Structure 1
Amino acid sequence: MIQDIQGGLVVSCQALAHEPLHSSSIMAKMAIAAQEGGAKGIRANTKADILAIRQEVTLPIIGIVKRDYADSSVFITATKREVDELLDSGCEMIALDATHRFRPHGETLRDLVKYIRARNENVQIMADISSKQEAMDAEALGCECVSTTLYGYTQESASHKLYEDDFAFLKTLQSSLKIPVIAEGNVSTPERYHRALELGAHAVVVGGAITRPQQITANFVNHRK
């Protein structure tokens, strides 16, 4: 999958239970639209959505399962339970929270990587990180790529945006890692998408700016010149 998405756009087709488009069939239609528009891959949440999307498009899929746990702030593919669901879905890549935060049940990132390798060595692993050190640790564990998904979304990185200072964080990761770096998080315009690729991002993931119409509508309503 790493080769398939290189130099292109991955569209995140997700709608949580409280959102108006929450439905596996709707997410499958979103994926069709993304494929017709030229996307090279899909990022999808839950086994049910992935299976529905697989019936409609030929694009490779990055799978996640978002689930809240009382004892941890980690919610993207947090435990072996979520990993099992994704392995059963047939997605080509599994993305999981690779931050240094405490995981549910005391499991570790190392535990999950080893578990995935033992169950299916052909499934690639994307590490969603929020810092340079987390990215380097994920590379050392053998993850195929890192994504900036959680940069700006953890307590330590909350004041930052990926696109700030001409994608300074993206540049830092690229100069520190040997594995591909995927740009994700607030890449909300075509200009930012193309700039991230110009700076060497292996691929770019865009979600809400394409697949969350309530967010897109609010951006129009609230925009001020």
Structure 2
Amino acid sequence: MSLSRRYPALAGIILVSNVLIACTSVPMAPQPEPTPETGTVVTEPAAPATGWADILGPVSAPENWQVEPCVNEVLLCVEADGELIGTVERFSYPLAEVNLQGGAPVTEEAQRQFLRAWVTDHYAAIEGDRKTADPNLSFAGDPPQAIAVGSLPGLRYGYSVTHPNGTLFDRGIGYVATDGDQVYVFTTGVISGDPTGSFSDEAAVEAFAPHLNTIIQGLQL
């Protein structure tokens, strides 16, 4: 099973240009829209949920910490005594964008297999990226653990990247789930050089981690 390495958190913006048609000097008359057949109900397609505000359920946090959606809708802001100390990033993409052998995972067992392969692929991508930047860095991935992501079966994963002397370079925590149509990813940690979906230090990550488990399980997915 070959999976895409990493998908961006923010969808691209598609600009659609209007084309002006002028075949003659006489302007074209606007064409009326077809009248729906009797009894037909015309509805607009529902916009997909894209931000934390759309899915956030009950929140949990250490004492004197606050958790709420950021102005940037793909980030969940975590504050301590009113000071921002970290964020959790969420993103999703269609399962159809993943190169799958044997088709989309329809059964629950097939979805679990897909998620395990996704984590393996993600670990390989992170390790390759970090070692390209510095071959002396060491990568260690945690065994993924089953966890509910809202109403969906999912996996919690984590990894650490360290310098030869043991000093932390990166610490990542993430959750991944699929409903057979979309892939949902939630990620945070201490990510060097990346303020998106990261915390100020490892102690803050570890203090918030059990509360994040609760938040992820309560999502309205």
If asked which structure has higher relative contact order (CA below 8 Å, sep 6+), I would say 2
What TM bracket, shorter-length normalisation?
under 0.3
Q: What's the TM-score, normalizing by structure 1? A: 0.27
Larger Rg: 2
Looking at secondary structure, tell me which structure has more strand per residue.
2
